[in-house]
Amino acid sequence: MYVTNNGTLYLKSLRGGGIGGSILYRSRLIDTVYSQVENLGNIIHTVSGESEPFMAPDESYLIFISESRSGGYEGWDLWICFNNNDSTQALR
């Protein structure tokens, strides 16, 4: 689990709600109360699963590991996802 400068929690769970495997979620801190967890979405998730999220303190990028993702080297690979200025995300 990781907490950003504004208090948002990023975590991995096997609770479901995705397309398979372990899923990355976030919960935003709103007026001293955490919101219900939300799935980080299809740009991040694969059937195999993702784990070990590290979100930059300013939420500009997310580093995580993913198993057998297309474009990787097989097995568990390290990936980075950037938040672009136009609110889109870029995975590398």
**Domain boundaries of the chain, sorted by first residue:** 2-91
CA distance 56 to 72: 22
Mean pLDDT of 16-40: 84
Q: What is the DSSP secondary structure assignment for residue 72, as one 8-state letter?
A: S
pLDDT at residue 73, rounded to an integer: 79
- pLDDT tens digits along 29-57: 999 999 999 888 877 777 777 888 899 99
* Residue type for position 3: V
Across 17-21, 42-46, 57-61, which has the greatest mean pLDDT? Answer: 57-61
The residue behind tokens 């899923």 is 23
Structure-token pair, residue 46: 């694969």
Q: What pTM, to 2 d.p., does this model score?
A: 0.80
| Cα 76 to Cα 63: distance, rounded to the nearest angstrom | 13
Mean pLDDT of the chain: 82
